[in-house]
Structure 1
Amino acid sequence: MRSYSEIAKRIAKIIISPESAIGFAHGVLSVPTDIGYLAYGFIDTDSRYQRETEKIRMVGAIRHGILENHNFMKTIETVLNIFNKNVPEAKQNAIYSKTMASVAGRTLTNSLIAGRLATTIAQRSSFLVAVRGGLIGNALLIGGMTERCIYTSEKLQKNNPEVYNALRVRNYDLLYFLVEPALNPFLEALNVKRTQGQPAFERIIEMVDREVNANAR
């Protein structure tokens, strides 16, 4: 896990400029990562039945429009809502009053950040098929992305059950692997809270406040 300071800097960067998440979202286009997950899926026989069940759920979710842009936004917004629920209201006001969100007020902050993050990530993801030429190659990589989607959802369930359960209701956990690089610092902060307590979490929030104050002028 990253240091408190590193987590805080990444959170502040996204709050100040959601578009900066493009730098964190490079993992979305990671061909070696997809191949690695595909290979692991072949040798992981213990969970094969469970993964096949998850693939059926994924097909159903895709048929019902899970890949539409507003679902990316809702996935991000759900995570941010859980994060902000743990941030004292006074500290939220202090942080968001220094950013673009101050125009709309704190209640719309999550929607603003989520919308801009979703647009950034969706634009990045739209190049997936285009940059991966060849029908066979694409088929393999799509298979790899499927495995990656399932394993990322499983990891989220283990490490952040509150976030997983909130996303799972609408199958948003299946989209999480696409937004994970951008949302990871928020999840890391929540992990600190879960494993080290609220005081440790609030130390990170204090650092976020200082970072935003220093860079949002």
Structure 2
Amino acid sequence: MRSYSEIARRIAKIIISPESAIGFVHGILSVPKDIGYLAYGFLDTDNRYQRETEKIRMVRAVRYGILENHNFMKTIETVLNIFNKKLPESRLNAIYSKTMASVAGRTLTNSLIAGRLATTIAQRSSFLVAVRGGLVGNALLIGGMAERCIYTSEKLLKNNPEVYNTLRPQNYDLLYFLVEPALNPFVEALNVRRTQGQPAFDKILELVEKEINTNAR
């Protein structure tokens, strides 16, 4: 796990400028990474039946439009909702006031950030062009990208059951590997809260506030 300061720095960067997430998503269509997951999946014979079951779920989800842009937004918004619900109101206001002073309430804040992140990931990267052309939809059902999708979902279940169980009913956990680079610092902070307690989480929030105060002027 990254240091508190590194987690805080990345959270602050996303809050200040969601468009900066483009720097985190270039590896989404990483062929070497997919080949690595494909090889790992081939060797992981113990869990082959479970992965095949997950692939069937993936096929159904793709068929019913899971790759539509609004689902990316809902996936991002769901994770941000979980994160922001852990923040005291005073801390929430302190963190977001410098970047979204006119926004009142958690829901609108989450929607704005989620919308900007989804736009960045879904419209400004080469990944989205591929989705619209059907390339990713096809690749998702076969090969290393399918394995990466499943293993990332399983890792999320292991590391943060709350996030996984909230995403799972709508199959958003299958999209998580596509937005993980941008959402990872928020999930890491939640993992710190789960494993090390509220004081450790509060320390990260304090550092986030300091980063924003320094960089959002």
Q: Among residues 125, 128, 132, which one is paired with 1:126 in the alignment? A: 128
Give the structure-1-normalised TM-score. 0.92
What CA distance in whole angstroms lies between the structure 2 residues aligned with 1:144 and 1:183?
Answer: 22
What CA distance in whole angstroms lies between the structure 1 residues aligned with 2:139 and 2:176?
Answer: 21
Q: Match for residue 102 of structure 2?
A: 103
- Residues 78, 167 of structure 2: 8 Å contact kept: yes
The DSSP-based 3-state class of the residue aligned with 1:118 is: helix
Q: Aligned-pair RMSD on alpha carbons? A: 1.8
The letter of the residue matching 2:128 is S
The DSSP-based 3-state class of the residue aligned with 1:169 is: helix
Q: Match for residue 176 of structure 2?
A: 176
- Residues 34, 141 of structure 1: 8 Å contact kept: no
Q: Are positions 1:77 and 2:77 aligned together?
A: yes
What CA distance in whole angstroms lies between the structure 1 residues aligned with 2:56 and 2:139?
Answer: 17
Q: Match for residue 205 of structure 2?
A: 205
Q: Match for residue 3 of structure 2?
A: 3
- Residues 58, 141 of structure 2: 8 Å contact kept: no
What CA distance in whole angstroms lies between the structure 2 residues aligned with 1:206 and 1:12?
Answer: 11
Deviation (angstroms), 1:102: 2.0
What CA distance in whole angstroms lies between the structure 2 residues aligned with 1:68 and 1:38?
Answer: 25
What CA distance in whole angstroms lies between the structure 2 residues aligned with 1:79 and 1:139?
Answer: 25
Give the structure-2-normalised TM-score. 0.92
What CA distance in whole angstroms lies between the structure 2 residues aligned with 1:13 and 1:140?
Answer: 30
Deviation (angstroms), 1:12: 0.2
**Structure 1 gap segments, 5+ residues each:** none
What CA distance in whole angstroms lies between the structure 2 residues aligned with 1:106 and 1:209?
Answer: 18
How many aligned residue pairs are there?
Answer: 210
Q: Match for residue 49 of structure 2?
A: 49
What CA distance in whole angstroms lies between the structure 2 residues aligned with 1:139 and 1:184?
Answer: 23
Deviation (angstroms), 1:127: 4.2
Deviation (angstroms), 1:105: 2.0
The letter of the residue matching 1:169 is P
Deviation (angstroms), 1:95: 1.0
What CA distance in whole angstroms lies between the structure 1 residues aligned with 2:98 and 2:105?
Answer: 11
Deviation (angstroms), 1:77: 0.4
What CA distance in whole angstroms lies between the structure 2 residues aligned with 1:13 and 1:60?
Answer: 35
